Amino acid sequence: MNDDHLSKTLVFTLSVIIDSDAEKRQRIALAYQEAELLVATIPLDNGDVRPRIEACVERFDRFKAAGDVASAGWILKAIQERVEQRNLPGWRKLRKVINQATKLLPLPTTTRH
């Protein structure tokens, strides 16, 4: 995914989130959470996050092919992993957009017992 494609995909993903109703946003949020859990289990390949990105993109493709809005959660995590490498031009701006996108999702808060 080149820089231009990544930016366009992020903008499209953000528009999907914004245009979704509460139920769809919940579905996207759950997929994003699943992606976070999956990514945490995949080790870096000599410092490279590619295996993590590929795992998310593979699931994105499956959900997108099924017409499932959850695909947005998977691609959002893939983009986030790429941006967190901090070697793209404008990565700080991209990270801000990603952070704003995740704030639109109804992510659970940690409760203390």
Taking 80 as the threshold, does the pLDDT of residue 2 lie above it? no
pLDDT more than 90, % of the chain: 86
Among candidate residues 98, 57, 95, 62, the one with its CA nearest the CA of residue 74: 57
Residue 36 lies in a domain: yes
pLDDT at 111: 44
Prediction pTM value: 0.91
**How much is the average pLDDT of 61-90?**
96
pLDDT at 113: 45
The CA distance from 56 to 13, in Å, is 14
Domain count across the chain: 1
pLDDT at 101: 95
Residue 47: give the domain boundaries.
3-103
**How much is the average pLDDT of 26-52?**
95
Residue 63 lies in a domain: yes
